[in-house]
Structure 1
Amino acid sequence: MSVKIDKKIVGYKVVTPSNDDTIPETKVVAAELERAIVQMHENLSRPEELHGSTYKVKTPLSDHALYITINDIILNQGTDHEQRRPFEIFINSKNMDQFQWVVALTRVISAVFRKGGDCTFLAEELKAVFDPQGGYFKRGGKFMPSLVAEIGEAIESHLTKIGMMQTPNLGEHQMAILAEKRAEYEAASSYSAPEGKPSNPFPESAQLCHKCMTKGVILMDGCMTCLNCGDSKCG
């Protein structure tokens, strides 16, 4: 419905929650609460104390281990909007051969952390870096295409631990099928699973799975199946 103004406009006033009685008090309280919630941004000052985790990375590429420390900041502590976000990362090692790019990488990653928003893409981007000289296998038979990829995996592990990422887990039905296939494989071959926690729990003849990058693919019922993630060429 249009309103015709016959008189000359001599002034105006901006309507705000404080001078408009038509706005419910609940909306005013909600607006004030929203302004009070602290979000992650690059101008957020660093607290005197931060809590974090350190991850040890030992590769066959170096005699010295790499220690990755990720410190977190807790926003809106003690409220319903409390959240833990990564704030900075440090990488330390006795091996100084990679010192320059390691320092550069930590500064860039820390800047992305403090920028706010979704930083989970960092893990996937780093895990996709391949070393032209070839990668290596970790304990458990998982293939790492590069040292940078293993740094990305450490970041992914940390983001999963603080709830920013979710690890896709196999269901109980899939786990039961994999256990059944493994039992059939062990019964049909001379392979027997070693006791304890071996460095590689899968058969030595297992091939590399291109989905989970684990050396756990075996031939069962005429189909290549991964004993780690359940990926199969037969669907």
Structure 2
Amino acid sequence: MIEIKQNITAAKVQSAEEKTEANTPENESVNLNENTKRPEMLVGSTYKIKPPVSDHALYITINDILLNQGTEQEIRRPFEIFVNSKNMEFYSWIVALTRVISAVFRKGGDCTFLVEELKAVFDPKGGYYQRGTGIFMPSVVAEIGHIIETHLKTLDMLPGNEIDTHQQAYIQQKKAAAKAEADANATNNNSDFPATATSCNKCHQKAVVLLDGCATCLNCGDSKCG
């Protein structure tokens, strides 16, 4: 029992957040949950994708919240996501998608399951190959999943793309075999046909040269002049 010997001149109702902060030891880390308030400023990254199914690029921004700042338990966790584009065709489902993903982020806990769920979404009209990497994307949603995967890897929430020793040896073996085959083909072409010869549409050999102003294949005899 606490005895109050002075007159009470003011009172304040303590909020749930203040109670939590007051009861949290200084050395105990604070985890992200649905009660975590959004700070005035968040740090994030913006990724650009240009799917061939859209006339305009999509800009995906993922903002992170910094927890336990200045302590040994300091971590960054995704807090919200935005997708912006000039293409209004995607507007309705983009708004719905970003709100759901942001809600999952703010819930705390393991959010890495979002990656596989999004990457498994297939467009009934067909997918496409990502520019620059050649990776097949079954849908725009799947490519957003790849972006989230990349971002989570920067936060060490997912392991990086590490190739084990056996895979590295196998890849090096295939590279060496491909190089040897290319060198052999180059040697054969140089010995049989001129170095300036181009590929023949009929026999697919690099044996087409100009003879009397007419493109003629030295391998199969095919000629543009008949």
Q: TM-score, normalised by structure 2?
A: 0.67
**Match of residue 213 from structure 1:** none
Structure 1's consecutive aligned runs of 4 or more residues displaced over 3 angstroms after TM superposition are 31-36, 189-192
* CA gap 1:53/1:191 in 2 versus in 1, 3 angstroms: farther
One of 11, 22, 25 as aligned partner of 1:33: 25
Distance 1:191 1:95 in 2: 50
Distance 2:74 2:151 in 1: 18
**Match of residue 37 from structure 2:** 45
Distance 1:140 1:57 in 2: 12
One of 62, 66, 69 as aligned partner of 1:77: 69
Shift of 1:167: 2.3
Shift of 1:36: 4.2
Give identity over the alignment, percent: 61
Larger radius of gyration: 2
Q: Which amino acid aligns with 1:115?
A: K
**Match of residue 222 from structure 1:** none
Q: Which amino acid aligns with 2:162?
A: N
Distance 1:151 1:126 in 2: 7
Shift of 1:185: 2.1
* CA gap 1:191/1:174 in 2 versus in 1, 3 angstroms: farther
One of 119, 127, 135 as aligned partner of 1:127: 119
| Structure 1 alignment gaps of length 5 or more | 1-30, 193-235
Aligned residues: 162
| Structure 2 alignment gaps of length 5 or more | 1-22, 186-226
Distance 1:75 1:182 in 2: 45
Distance 2:75 2:167 in 1: 33
Pairwise CA RMSD: 2.1
Deviations 1:171-214 (A, max 9, x none): 3453233122122023225799xxxxxxxxxxxxxxxxxxxxxx
* CA gap 1:32/1:69 in 2 versus in 1, 3 angstroms: closer
Q: TM-score, normalised by structure 1?
A: 0.64
- Structure having greater relative contact order (Cα 8 Å, sep ≥ 6): 1
Deviations 1:103-153 (A, max 9, x none): 000000000000011000001100000011110011222100000000000
**Match of residue 175 from structure 1:** 168
Question: Does 1:109 find its partner at 2:108?
Answer: no
SS in 2 for 1:33: coil
Distance 2:148 2:161 in 1: 16
